[in-house]
Structure 1
Amino acid sequence: MKGCLVAFDTVGGRPAAARIVDGRLEDLLIDAPDDCIVPGTIYRARVGRPLKGQGGAIVETPDGPLFLRQAKGLGQG
């Protein structure tokens, strides 16, 4: 098969897309579950306590506490 094909379907009830170029799978994207935090998500949070030696801090979000990397210079509160 020559050319490019984009196929849409569902996998486990979640939307999925596949890109096939010259008969070979080149890219496969499956939507993340609703209860999962995906990379790039923006949260409103309050800085809790800094973790010395870890280079980060614990932040409080509506979904619970999270670890924030490279939190140098952020004040508590």
Structure 2
Amino acid sequence: MADEQLPEMVTLDEAYRAAFFMIDAYVELEARPDEGLVLFHQYLQSDPARWEDWKQAVSRARSPGAGLDPLAENLDKD
């Protein structure tokens, strides 16, 4: 899918699935993926608390003064 076909906004469900698929691809591609990331991947698949944790993370990301912006480095390159 080309960038111009990507939506500007996604739902919480879509964003969660995107994060999962990104981690899934990394774990699958790496010969020796980081153990912590593998455990996180398992958590995303199995822990019932994951949805509440996800919603809290989204709320934090949207709050003013959230601090660190993990996208800033990439966004500044455009």
Which structure shows the higher strand fraction?
1
Mark yes or no: TM-score above 0.5: no
Which structure shows the higher helix fraction?
2
TM-score by length of 2: 0.19
The structure number with the bigger radius of gyration is: 1
Greater relative contact order (Cα 8 A, min sep 6): structure 1 or 2? Answer: 2
TM-score by length of 1: 0.20
